[in-house]
Amino acid sequence: MRRVFQKLAFAAGLVVLQAGIVHADIKIGLVAEPYPPFTSKDASGKWVGWEIDVLEAACKAMNEKCDYVEIAWDGLIPSLQSRTIDVIWSSLSITDDRREVIDFSVPYYSSVMFMVGPKNGDLDVTPEHLADKVIGVPGGGPEEKYATVVYAPAGAQIKAYPTQDETNGDMVSGRIDYTVGGAAAMQRLLTSAEGSACCEHKADVEDPKILGEGMGAGIRKGDTALKAKLDAAIMALARSGELDRITANHPELKGAIKTPKP
pLDDT at 24: 65
Lowest mean pLDDT among 127-131, 134-138, 209-213, 230-234: 209-213
pLDDT at 11: 40
Cβ atoms within 10 Å, residue 177: 17
Q: Is the pLDDT of residue 13 over 50?
A: no
Q: Is the pLDDT of residue 110 over 50?
A: yes
| Tens-digit pLDDT profile for residues 158-187 | 999 988 889 999 999 999 999 999 888 898
pLDDT at 213: 83
By percentage, how much of the chain surpasses pLDDT 90? 71
Residue 51 shares a structural domain with residue 120: no
Residue 76 shares a structural domain with residue 63: yes
Full domain range(s) for residue 244? 24-109+214-258
Whichever domain contains 92, its CATH number is 3.40.190.10
Q: Is the pLDDT of residue 260 over 80?
A: yes
For residues 212 and 143, the answer to whether their CB atoms sit within 8 Å is no
pLDDT at 66: 97
Task: Decide if 134 is inside a domain.
Answer: yes
| Tens-digit pLDDT profile for residues 115-137 | 999 999 999 999 999 999 999 99
Residue 136 shares a structural domain with residue 86: no
3-state secondary structure the chain: CHHHHHHHHHHHHHHHHHHHHHHCCEEEEEECCCECCCEEECCCCCEECHHHHHHHHHHHHHCCCEEEEEECHHHHHHHHHCCCCCEECCCCECCHHHHCCCEECCCCEEECEEEEEECCCCCCCCCCCCCCCEEEEECCCHHHHHHHHHCHHHCCEEEEECCHHHHHHHHHHCCCCEEEEEHHHHHHHHCCHHHHHHEEEEEEECCHHHHCCCECCEECCCCHHHHHHHHHHHHHHHHHCHHHHHHHCCHHHCCCEECCCC
Residue 85 shares a structural domain with residue 205: no
pTM above 0.85, yes or no: no
What number is the average pLDDT over the span 86-98? 92
| Tens-digit pLDDT profile for residues 140-152 | 888 898 999 999 9
pLDDT band at 97 (very low <50, low <70, confident <90, very high): confident
Task: Decide if 14 is inside a domain.
Answer: no
Of 194, 211, 228, the domain-final residue:
211
